[in-house]
Amino acid sequence: MVAPALRDDSDLALSLAQRVSQRERARRRRDARGAWSLLSPSVIILGVMVGYPAVLMVIQSFTDYTVRDKVQGTTPDFVGFENYIDLFTKSDFPAVLTRSLALMVVLTALIIFFGVLVAVLMTRLSRFWRVLVSVGLLLAWALPPLTATVVWGWIFDAQYGIVNWLLNTVTGSTAWTNHPWLLE
């Protein structure tokens, strides 16, 4: 193939600009593919970790799902839109929804305000104190769920837990998970 004859310098500049823009587009596509290949495992894992429970909740919202079904492994009854009809026809639903939304807005505003305040104040600290405050904030954030998990594990321990001891004392049986009154 023969290259077309260039008429003047403007044609040459245009031709060079087109070649550069083609190379630039190819580089951008290559960079985008690289970024997506690095990002896709995280997106897939997050999608599965969030998507599966969300789909399961939507499916279960159309059934009469109870704790008994979960513990005993029974299949819940399909009730269709009955749960949603009950939800929207209850007289306290609008009040509860309004209160929940107001609480969400107020708490979000307070969290943002105090978060920015702490961040601005931390910029005025020396490096040592900034690290110390950061570690303290991290521990204050991480320890409550950790301790709650350990305490609930102790409470519901199958051999030595207080709930197990109490139910064994009351019912006289070690198979307390099979009692229907507990699962209601």
pLDDT of residue 125: 93
Domain's final residue, options 90, 117, 132: 90
Please say whether the dihedral angle defined by the alpha carbons of residues 175, 177, 182 and 184, taken in this order, is positive or negative.
negative
In a domain, 124, yes or no: no
Q: Residues 32-52: pLDDT tens digits?
A: 898 899 999 999 999 999 999
Of 75, 167, 169, nearest to 177 by C-alpha is 167
Is the Cβ–Cβ distance between 183 and 71 less than 8 Å? yes
How is residue 159 annotated by DSSP?
Answer: T
User: What is the percent of the chain where pLDDT is above 70?
Assistant: 84
Is the Cβ–Cβ distance between 82 and 90 less than 8 Å? no
**What band does 31 get if pLDDT is binned at 50, 70 and 90?**
confident
User: 150 and 83, same structural domain?
Assistant: no
**Which residues fall within 8 angstroms of residue 133, CB to CB, at 6 or more apart?**
118, 122, 125
In a domain, 125, yes or no: no
pLDDT of residue 159: 75
**What band does 184 get if pLDDT is binned at 50, 70 and 90?**
low
Is the Cβ–Cβ distance between 182 and 167 less than 8 Å? yes
**What band does 177 get if pLDDT is binned at 50, 70 and 90?**
low
Domain's final residue, options 90, 109, 125: 90
Q: Say how many domains are in the chain.
A: 2
Per the model's pLDDT, the better-predicted residue between 127 and 71 turns out to be 127
User: What is the percent of the chain where pLDDT is above 90?
Assistant: 49
**What band does 10 get if pLDDT is binned at 50, 70 and 90?**
low
In a domain, 28, yes or no: yes
pLDDT of residue 182: 58
pTM: 0.49
Question: Which residue range(s) make up the domain with 148?
Answer: 143-183
**Which residues fall within 8 angstroms of residue 67, CB to CB, at 6 or more apart?**
183
Domain's final residue, options 90, 119, 151: 90
pLDDT at 178 over 90: no
User: 84 and 16, same structural domain?
Assistant: yes
DSSP helix/strand/coil, 57:
helix
In a domain, 97, yes or no: no
Encode burial over 67-79: b for 16+ CB neighbours within 10 A, e otherwise: eebeeeeeeeeee
Q: What is the mean pLDDT of residues 123-141?
A: 94
In a domain, 101, yes or no: no
In a domain, 111, yes or no: no
pLDDT at 110 over 80: yes
